[in-house]
Amino acid sequence: MMQFTLDKRRGTFFRGIAVATAGLVALSIAGCSAEVAEKPEGTESASPHIQSDALTVSTRMADYLPGYGMLDADAIPYSSVSEMAEDADLGASGTIASFSWGRFDRHRGEATDSVDYEPIIVKLEDPEVLSGDLPHDFDGNLYIALPGFGTLEEHEQGLPIGTRVTFYGIDLEQPGLTLLEGAPEGQNVYNVIHPASLAVEVPAVDVVSRSAIAGETVVVFPLAGVVAPDVQLDDVEPGDQLPDFDALAEEQHG
């Protein structure tokens, strides 16, 4: 179960991944929960799909990232990438290089408490900035905190090294909050701000054989729990419209 809370930032309401205590990060988020969408046995023929040459490309989330579930949120969704980018400190694309556990400490005056926030942190190499500015003392990589569910091994299996990613996030570094583990000292760690703000490019899967289709990819929004077969990562940049997530979810999850 992932919990979302509601806050306000820069006068705009938006959603983000909240796995910290209230006030830990300056995210604008709406309350919601996540559950994995499972298809009953014996109904594979009803799986949503698109036709590609002689193969049928699956749009079932379970064929791509089964560890992620569909999020049902009450917050106002973004309609465009530009709108989302305005609320983010940084938007960028890059390639997954590694995963690690992160750990934060919170300081209250002279007291130091361990915060129950230990996200998986993914390192992106060869980043291309799409909006905002690179952090000070940028070491050539970007570090993103993923939601606090799933093991390190599950993330590595679902999002293999070399996977291309686009994200829009805010800096987690705040007064009184210190990252102890998960990224090199002095490097910023970003939290994605919305289910639509994390997109990954993965090999397309044939709905019948459940095997990868050579040379063909689809874009998955893992935190929104949907596959967007007609979208490329280049379509998740400022100036582009976001997919209709409600329509995709209805089609893919029934």
C-beta of residue 187 within 8 angstroms of C-beta of residue 221: no
CA 205 and chain centroid, separation: 20
How far apart CA 108 and CA 175 sit, in angstroms, is 10
- pLDDT digits (tens), the chain, 254 positions: 333 332 333 322 223 333 332 222 222 222 233 333 344 444 444 445 455 445 688 888 888 887 665 444 455 688 899 999 999 999 999 999 999 988 877 666 565 555 567 788 999 999 999 999 998 889 999 999 986 567 788 888 888 899 999 999 999 877 667 778 888 888 899 989 888 999 999 999 998 888 988 989 999 998 888 899 888 999 999 999 999 888 888 877 65
Phi, psi angles (nearest 5°) of residue 102: -110, 155
C-beta of residue 154 within 8 angstroms of C-beta of residue 67: yes
pLDDT at 182: 84
What pLDDT shows up at residue 198? 93
Q: How far apart are the first and last CA of the chain?
A: 21
**Residue pair 59/92 in contact by the 8 Å Cβ criterion:** no
- Which residue, among 154, 150, 102, 153, has the nearest Cα to 123 in the 3D structure? 102
pTM: 0.74
**Phi and psi (nearest 5°) for 224?**
-95, -10
Closest by CA position to 44, among listed 32, 67, 68, 62? 62
Contact 177, 169 (CB under 8 A): no
The residues, any chain, with a CB within 8 Å of residue 43's CB and separated by 6 or more, are: none
